[in-house]
Amino acid sequence: MFTPRDLSALGDPRSVGMALTRLSRKGIIRQLARGLYDYPKDDPTFGRVLPSADAVAKALAARDASRLQPAGAYAANILGLSEHAPARVVFLRDGPSRRVKFGQQEVVLKRTTPRNVATAGRKSGTIIQALRHIGQRNVNDKTLELVKRQLTKQDRAQLLKDLRYAPGWIAEILRRLAT
């Protein structure tokens, strides 16, 4: 995954844009959305394979120099709390909101408060967002045990540091997970 900004050292923006357009028309690269390209990969069984939602979101976040935090059903799926792979993958970020649709999948980058992305890139942030998605009433011992098995000693220490970014009911759960 790359954006025209990644190629800015090669020439002025108009020249880079024209070169990307020509390469895209020839099929050497693929334009997924405005300002977002990749090298298409072909699988012998499935044909042309689309990039992962993570790769798309990370490329856009790198381009905009913003922090990225998986949210909602996608955060729950990452932790194994949900077996459903969402067709609409949501990330919270401190940059502008944006939607990118490619194939049957949609990546949604939602602008949020600094508090919600303060834990971006850490397992504690994914846990907070997954629990928020599941809801207080639906969190049970099985859910907590599943999350607890995935935590390293460093993750547990980080959970205690990140308590201040979680809502009260999630902070209590994080304390239990960290001990």
Query: pLDDT by residue for the chain (179 residues), tens digit each?
Result: 898 988 989 989 999 999 999 999 999 999 988 888 999 888 899 888 888 889 999 998 888 889 999 999 999 999 999 888 888 999 999 989 999 988 788 999 999 999 999 999 999 999 999 999 999 999 999 999 999 999 999 999 999 999 999 999 999 999 999 98
Nearest to 79 by CA among 1, 155, 154, 157: 155
**152 and 91 fall within a common domain:** yes
Instruction: Please tell me the predicted confidence (pLDDT) of residue 156.
Output: 94
Residues 127 and 73 in one domain: yes
Residues 39 and 109 in one domain: no
- pLDDT of res. 99: 93
* 27 and 89 co-located in one domain: no
Per-residue pLDDT, 48: 86
- Does residue 108 share a domain with residue 22? no
Residues 66 and 146 in one domain: yes
Q: Are 95 and 61 a contacting pair, CB within 8 Å? A: yes
pTM of the entire structure? 0.85
Q: In terms of domains, do 122 and 35 share one?
A: no
The residue range of the domain holding 38 is 1-46
Instruction: Based on the fold, state whether residues 15 and 89 are members of the same structural domain.
Output: no
Do 146 and 72 lie in a common domain?
A: yes
Residues 82 and 132 in one domain: yes
The number of folded domains in the chain is 2
CA distances for 174 relative to 17, 119, 127, 128, 152, angstroms: 47, 13, 9, 8, 14
Query: What spatial distance separates the first Cα and last Cα of the chain, rounded to whole Å?
Result: 40
156 shares its domain with 79: yes
65 lies in the same domain as 152: yes
Separation CA 109–CA 92 (nearest Å): 6
Q: Are 89 and 106 in contact (CB under 8 A)?
A: yes
